[in-house]
Amino acid sequence: MRSATSFFDKTLFRSQLKHTWPLWLGYTALWLFLVPVALFSELSAYQGSYSAADASSLLLNAGVRGGVFISFVFGLFFAMLSFSHLTQSRATNGFHALPMRRETIFLTAYLTGLFCQLSTILVTFLLGAAVSAPLHLSFWSVTGAAMGSAMLEAVFFYSFAVLCMMMTGQILAAPVFYFVGNILVPGMEYLLRNFAGNFLYGYSGHTDVALGFLSPPLYMYTMCTEVAIASIETCESDSYYVTAYALEHRSFMILAAYALAGLVIALIALLLYRTRKSEMTGSTVAFPWATPIFKYGVTFCTAVALGQFLYYFLFGQYRSGGSDSLPGTILCMAAAGLVGYFVAEMLIKKSFRVFRAGAKGAAIVSLALVLLGVTMSFDLTGYEKHVPDESEIESAFYTFSGMTHVTTDDADTIRRLTAAHRAIVENRKELVRISEAWDADTLSQSDYDDIEPFSLRLTYYLKDGSQLSRSYSLYLRRSELTAPSSVTARVNALYMCRESVLCRVLGYGYEHLGDTPRFLDSYCYYYDENSNTKDYALTAAQAEQVYAALMQDVQDSDNGGSDIFAVQEYQYTSSFSLELYFESTNEKGRPEVYSLGPNVNNSTPNTLQVLNELLPELKSNTVTPPSDDGIHTLPATEDVSTEESVN
């Protein structure tokens, strides 16, 4: 007779439930309070004024946002209770002596904790649907979505907590593994980026965190706060009001992806449990192969996190200017790393006598951090001085002081960009010296008069599909403007090239101009000497005239008619603000209306002259922007009032 293999044991399941019921009861009470009780309380308090929109908002917020916190905390509690036998030698031996496979023990314990959570969520939201029935909410788009989101979150956090229980034989180590594991990757990324931003000249992106999704509680909550719940509006008598709320499809799919990842994690935990030795109960790390990972992982994390904090606490908070000291930071990181290393050794060996045995590993840690300091000090990787060859660049983006944003594939512009970049990295020591003196307020008065601060951020999009980004704080000298190979001259050549001037002078919308834009009726604001704003209409012919003057200013700037210092001084001297409408061809080859927002100031003298000449002729009016639907119908200007409207 063939024997069947069972992966679930009813007797063990019932036994597990008996031990779980106090936690299950508290978990259920919390969910009941958040959903049906809260709904009933709101309905009773507001009676007829409580709307479907209010109820749907409560349900979705409880399921999606509240579920993150509840599942994060209770997922750990259920995992610790379901697999508590792994942290007690007698219980471990007792479970493993049962006449059943390890797969059966694992899956029964895993499903017990999961059953308690999912059944509670199911009952809770069904009761919530019953309480809100008079409001006629959509079950699937509101109650079903909220309930499903809470379930998906529970699956992930519980599964991850189970994995943490597999990795340790100490009950108190599991919460540490769990909480650290949920923030480790993006936290370390942030600290490493901060470290690189302090000591790698030109490093760009020290505030970015690309791996935020590997901190599930923070990522889920941020996602739920910003985009998860969308309002459904209804229009009556030209007034919009919210009739209900619904969960964004993208947000639900993100939660589903986390739940799927949770199931994969549970499978990994099962595979680990099959090979876990009973005698590892009580050990901080339950697998010998994971011991060096734990030891050096703790060392690395404490060196990066505690080391940087230690440097700031001892030196950084009292510094009035200048940059951080790399040797000082490395020294603090080495001290913190050694502390982390010996603490990890103590946890593994369960003894304080680890200093002699751990001396070799401590020496390795210290040497590695010293090598890191040497590598960064002498730029042995070539990071700081690397400038790609023009032939490797597909296109480039750059921005000056966050104001001029240019994306281009123009060969001449890219040549000027790489020349400026090369001049910057070749003179980086002098630029750093000036930066530190500027921050410390130790520059002479003559230097202050000669130097102007700027910032340049650039990104190369290379032909092999990769990107290279840098960010620089520049201190340019007026006295070096005429020195062809100086940083000032190279940066000025980039700042005053045609692509830069087009972007800076023509403003937003210039990329849609094409070769032959057809200008439409437009308008301008004029600010008089009393700071009053006057709105004037521009006919299509006048808009064309203004555009021609703008292009002449662009040409003059490209021919050396101005420089970076003059433009910076003029940028806040404008008395005009323009909105030029034009018809051009879009990417599909069809006509479309765009708007142009030129920046008119003393760096655009031709445009100022034309506008001042036109000012007496202009009619006081605010032009209605043309739409794509009536693309060939120009806004009317004949019947407008000639009286000035002063805002």
Position of tokens 């003057």? Answer: 549
Lowest mean pLDDT among 95-109, 226-240, 295-309, 361-375: 226-240
CA separation for the pair 558, 551 (Å, rounded): 11
The residues spanned by each domain of the chain are 10-180+249-286, 290-377, 390-495, 505-620
The average pLDDT across 528-541 equals: 77
pLDDT above 80 (res 140): no
Q: Would you state the pLDDT for residue 272? A: 95
Q: What angle do CA 69, 70, 73 make, to 5 degrees?
A: 85
User: How far is residue 45 from each of residues 34, 42, 129, 536, measured CA to CA in Å?
Assistant: 16, 5, 18, 55
The average pLDDT across 491-497 equals: 90
Report percent pLDDT > 70 for the chain: 84
Q: What is the pTM of this model?
A: 0.77
53 or 258, higher pLDDT:
258
User: How far is residue 262 from each of residues 269, 271, 571, 600, measured CA to CA in Å?
Assistant: 10, 14, 54, 57
| 326 touches 376 (CB < 8 A) | yes
Q: What angle do CA 287, 290, 291 make, to 5 degrees?
A: 95
pLDDT band per the 50, 70, 90 thresholds, residue 618: low
- pLDDT tens digits along 303-339: 999 998 888 888 765 554 456 788 888 889 989 999 9
Q: Would you state the pLDDT for residue 632? A: 36
Q: Would you state the pLDDT for residue 629? A: 44
The average pLDDT across 497-509 equals: 84
Q: Would you state the pLDDT for residue 605? A: 85
pLDDT above 50 (res 375): yes
Q: Would you state the pLDDT for residue 574? A: 60
| Residues whose CB falls within 8 Å of the CB of residue 128, separated by 6 or more in sequence, listed in order | 35, 36, 39, 59, 62, 143
Cβ neighbour number for residue 530 with a 10 Å cutoff: 6
pLDDT band per the 50, 70, 90 thresholds, residue 114: very high
The 8-class DSSP code of residue 630 comes to T
Query: What is the rounded average pLDDT for all residues in the chain?
Result: 83
| 135 touches 47 (CB < 8 A) | no
Phi, psi (degrees; rounded to nearest 5) at 583: -105, 130
> Closest Cα partner for 413 from 334, 495, 342?
495
The average pLDDT across 563-581 equals: 73
The average pLDDT across 636-645 equals: 36
Lowest mean pLDDT among 77-86, 382-391, 463-472, 581-590: 581-590
- pLDDT tens digits along 391-442: 999 999 999 876 788 889 999 999 999 999 999 999 998 998 898 888 888 8
Strands 451-462 and 522-527: unpaired
Q: Would you state the pLDDT for residue 319? A: 53
Q: Would you state the pLDDT for residue 239? A: 43
Find the largest Cα–Cα distance for the chain. Answer: 106
pLDDT band per the 50, 70, 90 thresholds, residue 82: very high
Report percent pLDDT > 90 for the chain: 37
The average pLDDT across 529-547 equals: 81
Lowest mean pLDDT among 224-228, 306-310, 354-358, 621-625: 621-625
124 or 504, higher pLDDT:
124
pLDDT band per the 50, 70, 90 thresholds, residue 645: very low
pLDDT band per the 50, 70, 90 thresholds, residue 131: confident
Position of tokens 């008065």? Answer: 445
Q: Would you state the pLDDT for residue 364? A: 87
| Residues whose CB falls within 8 Å of the CB of residue 641, separated by 6 or more in sequence, listed in order | 619, 620, 621
CA separation for the pair 37, 26 (Å, rounded): 15
Q: Would you state the pLDDT for residue 647? A: 33
CA separation for the pair 442, 434 (Å, rounded): 9
Q: Would you state the pLDDT for residue 529? A: 65
Terminal-residue alpha carbon distance, the chain: 95
Q: Would you state the pLDDT for residue 49? A: 60
pLDDT above 70 (res 380): yes
Lowest mean pLDDT among 19-33, 226-240, 392-406, 452-466: 226-240
The average pLDDT across 21-45 equals: 89
| 637 touches 521 (CB < 8 A) | yes
pLDDT band per the 50, 70, 90 thresholds, residue 209: confident
647 or 627, higher pLDDT:
627
Q: Which segment, 67-81, 276-290, 498-512, is predicted with the most confidence on average?
A: 67-81
pLDDT band per the 50, 70, 90 thresholds, residue 79: very high
pLDDT band per the 50, 70, 90 thresholds, residue 561: low
281 or 566, higher pLDDT:
281
Q: Which segment, 125-129, 373-377, 379-383, 413-417, is predicted with the most confidence on average?
A: 413-417
| 344 touches 301 (CB < 8 A) | no
